[in-house]
Structures are given as structure tokens and as C-alpha cells.
Amino acid sequence: MVGALESDQSFAMAEKFDILSEGFDPTAVAPEPLPLPVTNGTGADQEEENLKKTKVVINGGGEREMVLGRNVHTTSLAVTEPESNDEFTGDKEAYMASVLARYRKTLVERTKYHLGYPYNLDFDYGALGQLQHFSINNLGDPFIESNYGVHSRPFEVGVLDWFARLWEIERDDYWGYITNCGTEGNLHGILVGREVFPDGILYASSESHYSVFKAARMYRMECEKVDTLISGEIDCDDFRRKLLANKDKPAILNVNIGTTVKGAVDDLDLVIKTLEECGFSHDRFYIHCDGALFGLMMPFVKRAPKVTFNKPIGSVSVSGHKFVGCPMPCGVQITRMKHIKVLSNNVEYLASRDATIMGSRNGHAPLFLWYTLNRKGYKGFQKEVQKCLRNAHYLKDRLRDAGISAMLNELSSTVVFERPKEEEFVRRWQLACQGDIAHVVVMPSVTVEKLDHFLKDLVEHRLVWYEDGCKPPCLVKDVGINNCICPAHK
């Protein structure tokens, strides 16, 4: 009787909810509010309505207009409560599957036009799929296990040892950890410097990553912004003037191993020499090297100055999701063991110590880094660096052949050129812009074919932008007279 009753109830519910109607198509894609990939089609006016403009202060005290990205609230995907009959109809699962399928299609499309940001998109981590079902968390100190047993510390320490060898510091002399992003590496490096010299002044070039100045605000540090050369590297003459004006206080310095916009590499040896000539002994300064992208490329470039702990530096950080090609943001931070003692504390809750910033850390990131470092090794990275530099020179030469002002620093794969006139073009190719310049960061995943596609698209659009006597901007102040080929400087 009970079985019959349950059968009758199930049949009644099936009739009520119409589990599979005659018109149901399990392969159909449910409509949802994901934006379509940006194309060259119409709709530019509507796009402009979704953008906001603001004023930003530029060097010299003036202002210029900056275009912000779209307001995501206009395309956000709402989280909704399941309907009472969802477990029978499966409509919710079908809807979510369609959203994810559409999102994947968008990712594939946008990846085709990715040029302005330093991410290596050439990777395959299928072998690690078997580990994605675990909540891996490397809480606290990477060198001391905690009570939480689902961690990847052996992989993390293996990665750290690899970078310690790269930057020439003995295993017993360094401490480090895998961060959640490049910014965290800068935040940690500057924090160590501040703890070593609580009354120190932070010096950073005006073209340093914005996270450096974020650190100064977070830690309430006195900060001196140093001028740069036309290449984007720190101006050591201005640095000298600012040091001499503050000789009574220790110096904490951020050195860029590749600036954000121009890919310029600060001259570490000249920076150290300037500090010494201004009367700063090695126990009165702390240097953090921000090597977000080029920190991993520089060791494989012939004649490039070395970033090494054999020099009087305090820490080095590098991003893992940039040149390495990790699919999630992460990074590596290495400092001297003697410095970390001021930050490290015992945590009974973890049965470990902690000198990190975030505490809980993504335990999957070390697996991805370890996997790639083992697959490629030093020789593999050297080949990829050579490929990037070769393709960057190709792009720079092709731009100049087309009459477009362009600059490429000697140790860089970041090609700087005139900013496209239309924001739609900028968004299509996902270019990073600042003032009158834009850049392409040539990564291992950027092929010559992709560069040719971009060049063709840019040249065709410029014919429209600069018809009827309209002239491209002069970039002398941004790239120098030798790299500007505007009508006034051809």
C-alpha cells in the first residue's frame, strides 16, 4: 500500500510540474544576461553610454580625461533562489549549464584579442584536474606544518627553493612564501622594510606599480616619488637629490624589474651606488625588487644586469600568473631570514608560525607552479624569453614601418605606441593605456600571426581616424624624439 501510495503521489507531481514537456529541448541554451563579445559591429553609441569618464591628475599638475570600464551592475548575473520544483524539472541546472557554456564561449573569444596585459595564456594543466576536488590551504608558514593536513607545503617549498637558486641565496638564509598575487608580494616586501626601519622613508619611481603607493598609504609611510627617465626607469639624479634631503632617515626603496607601462628596468647597481655615495651604509637601507613580470625573464637575457641576493637587497617578488602562466593569480616572495623575525609570530590555533599577510593561502597555486617549473625548467624558460623578445622587436619594427610611433626598451617585451583613437578598439584588443600611449606585452602565448592580425586591424582603423587632415598625437614627451614619428618628427 505504501509503495502504491508513493507511486500515485509521484505520478500526480509529475503531472502537476510537467517534468518533460513536449517542447523541451535539453540542448537549448537558456537566455541570460551575459554580454556579447565586443565586435566591430554597430552599437558603439550604446557602449559609450555604459562608460563613465573621470578626471585624473597627471605629472605636472594638469588633468586629463580617463575613460572607466563598463558598470558591471548592468550585466551582472543574479543569484536566485531555486524554485520548489527544480529538483524535478531540472530547469535551474539547465539554466546554469547554459550560462557557463555561454561564459566559456566569451572567454574563448576574448582570449583571441588579449594583448595589453602580461598574462601567459599558453598552458595546459589537465594533469592537475584530479586535485581540484580538495580544499588545499597552506595556512601560515610554508616551512612549518599546521594542524590542517590538506596542504601542499612540500610543493610550495620546492618552488621557493627553485627561485632561491635563481636569485642566488642559500636555503638557510632565505624565507619566503607563495602569495595570492603580485601586489601581495609588494605589500609584504615593503612591510618587511618598514619593520626593519620603522622611521624609514619609502622611495619609488613615479612609474612604479600602483600597489607600491597603496602600501605606503596602508602602512602610513612617508613616501617620496622619484622622477623617471624617458625610458621609464628611475632617474638616479633626482633620487640623489631626495636622498640628500632626508639623510637623517633610513631609506626603503622599491626597485622596478620592469615598470608597468613601459617595461623599464631600474638600474639596480646604479641605485646601490647612489645610496652609498649619499652616505647610506648597507645597514641604513632596504631594497625591495618588484619583478612582477621581468623578474623571471631577466635571468635568461644575455648581458642583463643580475638581480641577486649577493647584492645588498632585502627582498624580491615575482608574479606566477604572468610569465609562468598559472591560471589563477599568485606570486612568489623571497626575503632574507634575518629580516623575517620581526614579523613572525607563533599561532597556537594553527600549531604553526605566520609571517604572511593573508594567512590562508591558495594551496593549489604551488601545484601549478611546481608542475610548470618541472616541465619547462631553466632551458624552457630561456627559449620562451628569446621568443618573446624576438616577437616584440618584430612588432615594434612593423609599427614603425606603418608610420606609427613606437618604443621598446632594451630588456623588455613591452611595446609602447600611440594610443588608439577609439575606446572601442582599445577594449576589443584589451590594451592597457596611459595618457597618449598604449602598450602590447608580448608573452609566450602571443604569436606572430596574432600580432599581424592586430597590426592589420590597427592600420585599417588609423586610415579612418586620421582622414580629412586629422593628425596622430606627438609622443616625444612619452617615448622620446628618437621613437616619435608623428608628422612633426618624421
Q: Which residues contact 211 (CB under 8 A, 6 or more apart)?
A: 182, 183, 186, 187
Predicted confidence (pLDDT) per residue in 163-203, tens digit: 999 999 999 999 999 999 999 999 999 999 999 999 999 99
Q: Which residue has the higher pLDDT, 88 or 166?
A: 166
The cell for 212 is: 607600491
Q: Report how far Cα 210 is from the mean position of its chain's Cα atoms.
A: 12
Least confident of 51-55, 255-259, 341-345, 385-389: 51-55
406 and 422 share one domain: yes
280 and 239 share one domain: yes
Structural domain including 433 reads: 381-483
Q: What is the mean pLDDT of the chain?
A: 87
Among 287, 258, 267, 283, which Cα is nearest to 189's?
287
In this predicted structure, what is the pLDDT of residue 40?
42
Inside any domain, residue 29: no
295 and 346 share one domain: yes
Cα separation of 192 and 342, whole Å?
Answer: 8
Q: Mean of the pLDDT values across residues 237-254?
A: 98
189 and 335 share one domain: yes
The cell for 416 is: 609602447
306 and 402 share one domain: no
Supply φ then ψ for residue 219, to 5 degrees.
-95, 5
Inside any domain, residue 422: yes
Q: Which residues contact 30 (CB under 8 A, 6 or more apart)?
A: 94, 95, 98, 99
Please tell me the pTM assigned to this model.
Answer: 0.85
In this predicted structure, what is the pLDDT of residue 89?
78
Q: Residue 365 region, left (φ>0) first, then alpha (ψ -120 to 50), else beta?
A: alpha
Most confident of the ranges 26-35, 76-85, 89-98, 244-253: 244-253
Q: Is 171 helix (H, G, I), strand (E, B) or coil?
A: helix
The cell for 223 is: 613616501
Q: Indicate the helix (H) or strand (E) that contains 165.
A: helix 153-166
| H-type alpha helices, 18-85 | 44-49
Residue 29 pLDDT greater than 60, yes or no: no
365 and 401 share one domain: no
Inside any domain, residue 181: yes
Identify the domain boundary among 376, 400, 423.
376
Least confident of 71-80, 131-140, 165-174: 71-80
Cβ 182 vs Cβ 366: under 8 Å: no
Cα separation of 140 and 137, whole Å?
Answer: 9
The cell for 58 is: 597627471
Q: Report how far Cα 386 is from the mean position of its chain's Cα atoms.
A: 21
CATH number of the domain that residue 141 is part of: 3.40.640.10
Identify the domain boundary among 342, 376, 410.
376
Least confident of 119-128, 382-391, 416-425: 119-128
Q: Is 239 helix (H, G, I), strand (E, B) or coil?
A: helix
Kindly indicate the confidence band of residue 257, based on its pLDDT and cuts at 50, 70 and 90. very high
User: Within a 10 A sphere around the Cβ of 365, how many other Cβ atoms?
Assistant: 28
In this predicted structure, what is the pLDDT of residue 250?
98
Residue 112 pLDDT greater than 90, yes or no: yes
Looking at residue 410, its amino acid is E
Cα separation of 68 and 154, whole Å?
Answer: 43
Cα separation of 164 and 218, whole Å?
Answer: 28
Supply φ then ψ for residue 143, to 5 degrees.
-95, -5
In this predicted structure, what is the pLDDT of residue 55?
56
Cβ 408 vs Cβ 414: under 8 Å: yes
Cα separation of 191 and 184, whole Å?
Answer: 10
Predicted confidence (pLDDT) per residue in 312-335, tens digit: 999 999 999 999 999 999 999 999
259 and 337 share one domain: yes
Inside any domain, residue 336: yes
Cβ 396 vs Cβ 454: under 8 Å: no
> Total domain count for the chain?
2
Predicted confidence (pLDDT) per residue in 258-311, tens digit: 999 999 999 999 999 999 999 999 999 999 999 989 999 999 988 888 999 999
Cα separation of 384 and 376, whole Å?
Answer: 10
Kindly indicate the confidence band of residue 16, based on its pLDDT and cuts at 50, 70 and 90. very low
Residue 389 pLDDT greater than 80, yes or no: yes
Q: Identify the bridge partners of residue 234 per DSSP, sorted by sequence position.
A: 228
Q: Is 285 helix (H, G, I), strand (E, B) or coil?
A: strand
Cell 579612418, located at residue: 464
Residue 31 pLDDT greater than 70, yes or no: no
Q: Identify the bridge partners of residue 256 per DSSP, sorted by sequence position.
A: 290
- Counting Cα atoms < 13 Å in the Cβ hemisphere of 269 gives 3
Q: Indicate the helix (H) or strand (E) that contains 11.
A: helix 2-17
Handedness of CA 44, 429, 479, 238 (dihedral sign): positive
239 and 253 share one domain: yes
Cα separation of 282 and 426, whole Å?
Answer: 45
Identify the domain boundary among 341, 359, 376.
376
In this predicted structure, what is the pLDDT of residue 82?
84
CATH number of the domain that residue 396 is part of: 3.90.1150.10
In this predicted structure, what is the pLDDT of residue 5?
43
398 and 365 share one domain: no
369 and 409 share one domain: no
% residues pLDDT > 90 (the chain): 70
Q: Mean of the pLDDT values across residues 113-135?
A: 93
Cβ 261 vs Cβ 416: under 8 Å: yes
Q: Which residue has the higher pLDDT, 348 or 447?
A: 447
Cα separation of 195 and 338, whole Å?
Answer: 12
In this predicted structure, what is the pLDDT of residue 62?
55
Among 277, 318, 273, 327, which Cα is nearest to 125's?
327
SS3 content of the chain, % helix, strand, coil (to 5): 40, 15, 45
Cβ 326 vs Cβ 372: under 8 Å: yes
Q: Which residue has the higher pLDDT, 336 or 3?
A: 336
Predicted confidence (pLDDT) per residue in 40-50, tens digit: 444 445 444 45
Q: Which residues contact 427 (CB under 8 A, 6 or more apart)?
A: 38, 47, 69
Predicted confidence (pLDDT) per residue in 341-384, tens digit: 888 776 766 666 788 998 889 999 999 999 999 999 999 999 99
Q: Which residue has the higher pLDDT, 56 or 140?
A: 140
Inside any domain, residue 457: yes
The residues that are catalytic are 412
Cα separation of 271 and 361, whole Å?
Answer: 34
Kindly indicate the confidence band of residue 65, based on its pLDDT and cuts at 50, 70 and 90. low
Residue 67 pLDDT greater than 80, yes or no: no
Inside any domain, residue 110: no
Q: Which residue has the higher pLDDT, 64 or 8?
A: 64
Inside any domain, residue 222: yes
476 and 388 share one domain: yes
Q: What DSSP string runs through 425-482?
A: HHHHTT-EEETTEEEEE--TT--HHHHHHHHHHHHHHHHHHT-TT--PPP-HHHH-TT
In this predicted structure, what is the pLDDT of residue 440?
97
Residue 425 pLDDT greater than 70, yes or no: yes
Supply φ then ψ for residue 315, to 5 degrees.
-160, 160
Inside any domain, residue 50: no
370 and 390 share one domain: no
